[in-house]
Amino acid sequence: MLVCVFQHKCSPFCVSFLHTLTALNAGCTVLSVRCRQTKQCHCWSKRSYKGLRKCEQEVAEESVFQDLLEILSSASRAIEQSCRDSCGLAEVDTCLLLVAECFRCLRNACVQCARNQHLLRNLGLISTSVHLIKLLHGMQVKEELLLPALRCSLQFLGNIAAGNGDSQNSLWKCAFPDLFLLLIVTDHLLQCPELVKALYAKLSNQERVTLLELMLAKVSEKSSVGSEELEVLGSHATFLAGCFQEQCGAVLRFAAAPQAQDQEALVTVRLLDVLCELTSSSGQLDRLQALPGLLEAAVDTLRLTHLAGKQAVNVFTATHAVTGQEEVSHPAVGFKSHLIRLIGNLCYKNKENQDKVYELEGIPLILDNCSIDDNNPFVNQWAVFAIRNLTEQNERNQELIAGLEEQGLAEGSALGSMGLEMDKQEGRLILRSARKKPS
């Protein structure tokens, strides 16, 4: 049996972690907390404390949560005292382990459980947690000691706020702006998808843009990530794809806003930027390709913006500036290029999505956007990329494009600029890579 003791001169608790090999079969890792003043001992087995299984959530006693609250409050006081005295906290590793385990218990207790979400909020655990997280950020300890406590605390805040408007309001009052900004700067916020969802719902459009730009910088990093971080990014990808589907139509406001002041439309632009980066990663591509509605939203938005650019002169209108003309500066510049990029990514080696674009009549739409356009830099290159992904091992899509050229609906010069050409073989129209002409 291994006994670790955490004591502090100002703490009313003596805390012991009892890990016993004889109880392994029963899964009884035990936490024992004894109050110095009352001499009363509180014990929780792994089943009631560390795991809180789904089937047991609704029957968890309030007294267990009250004890956990008292432990966290005691830990806060101990950390504050050590900071005031400019002295190190005795047994800091055990203290942080205790904090992490408490938050792990609380995190598990409120997963999709409205009863426990309300109970923990009414006990004041949101404000206590926010205060403790701020203290943890100020501790000068090794990162490997601090991260588990910090990660579990943020996951708890995410879970208690998930799908619960009252908890989201309480979290917003306690955490914004100080903790929110602190988490953004230190990059910890992005490690907790549920907390991102809860806070995103409360952010203004301008604040959402800031958060999305932070996420864009994060996902644009080319460094390799582990399986845990891939799962976190996957949760972000699913959430952001849903946000894009809900508000992609807002970008059309830029057609009537020459000064580009519409923040909701700008959020849509940034959502698309992040999705383009996420679908450029093999780690997230499969997940996003399988999401219902995302591809349809991209094709529909491309159609609407293309139509808006034809009906009136605006940022969605294709332009080709003469030499020396001032460069166009607008948040929506490149938006159609990125839509085509997203469509191309979603169709990469995916027959179902290739066929879906065919059914949505998205192929002629992409071909109609392959000319030089100063409002959409590199649109021709992204169109080439999308058409190649749409036609790879897909005879129906190849025949469609070849047929459009024969009907005069797709210019041969446009296909040529994509490195493609149409050929007839045994009465069939075949789209293939263009043969290089002799120099």
Q: Which of 275, 217, 283, 227 is nearest to 247 (CA)?
A: 275
Q: Which of 221, 264, 257 is nearest to 243 (CA)?
A: 264
Give CA–CA dist 433/172, Å, rounded.
56
Q: Tokens 């830029």 sit at which residue?
A: 254
Residue type, 346: L
State the average pLDDT over residues 301-326.
83
Helices (H), 110-226: 114-122, 125-138, 143-161, 165-175, 178-186, 193-200, 205-219
pLDDT of residue 25: 26
In the chain, % of residues over pLDDT 70: 72
Q: pLDDT digit string (tens) for 316-353?
A: 999 876 544 455 578 899 999 999 999 999 999 999 99
Least reliable range by pLDDT among 183-197, 283-297, 417-431: 417-431
**Is the CB of residue 120 less than 8 Å from the CB of residue 68?**
no
pLDDT of residue 433: 62
pLDDT of residue 238: 95
Residue 402 has pLDDT above 90, yes or no: no
Give CA–CA dist 219/233, Å, rounded.
8
Query: The tokens of 164 are what?
Result: 């619960």
pLDDT of residue 45: 40
Judged by DSSP in three states, 44 sits in strand
Q: pLDDT digit string (tens) for 106-160?
A: 999 998 899 999 999 999 999 999 999 989 887 878 777 888 898 889 889 988 9
Q: Which residues pair with 17 in a beta bridge?
A: 4, 31
Q: Give 3-state DSSP helix, strand, coil % of the chain, rounded to 5.
A: 65, 10, 30
Q: How far is CA 33 from the centre of its chain?
A: 38
Residue 365 has pLDDT above 90, yes or no: yes
pLDDT of residue 327: 55
Give CA–CA dist 330/284, Å, rounded.
29
Residue 234 has pLDDT above 60, yes or no: yes
Query: The tokens of 309 are what?
Result: 């650019």
Q: How far is CA 19 from the centre of its chain?
A: 37
- Cis ω for the linkage preceding 177 (within 30 of 0): yes
Q: pLDDT digit string (tens) for 259-275?
A: 657 899 999 999 999 99
Judged by DSSP in three states, 142 sits in coil
Residue 79 has pLDDT above 80, yes or no: yes
pLDDT of residue 222: 59
Q: Which of 53, 26, 45 is nearest to 111 (CA)?
A: 53
pLDDT of residue 92: 76
- Which has the higher per-residue pLDDT, 401 or 48? 401
The whole-chain average pLDDT of the chain stands at 78
Residue 247 has pLDDT above 90, yes or no: yes
Query: The tokens of 381 are what?
Result: 């290159």
Q: Give the pTM.
A: 0.70
In the chain, % of residues over pLDDT 90: 38
Quickly state the pLDDT bin for 356 (edges 50, 70, 90).
Answer: very high
**How does 137-163 read in b/e, with b if 16+ C-beta sit within 10 Å?**
eebeeeeebbebbbbbbbbbbbbbbbe
Residue 226 has pLDDT above 80, yes or no: no
Q: Which residues pair with 230 in a beta bridge?
A: none
pLDDT of residue 224: 63
Q: pLDDT digit string (tens) for 3-61?
A: 333 333 333 333 333 232 223 223 334 444 444 444 444 444 434 444 444 445 666 78
pLDDT of residue 294: 97
State the average pLDDT over residues 72-76.
91
Spatial CB neighbours of 200, under 8 Å, sequence gap ≥ 6: 208, 211, 239, 243
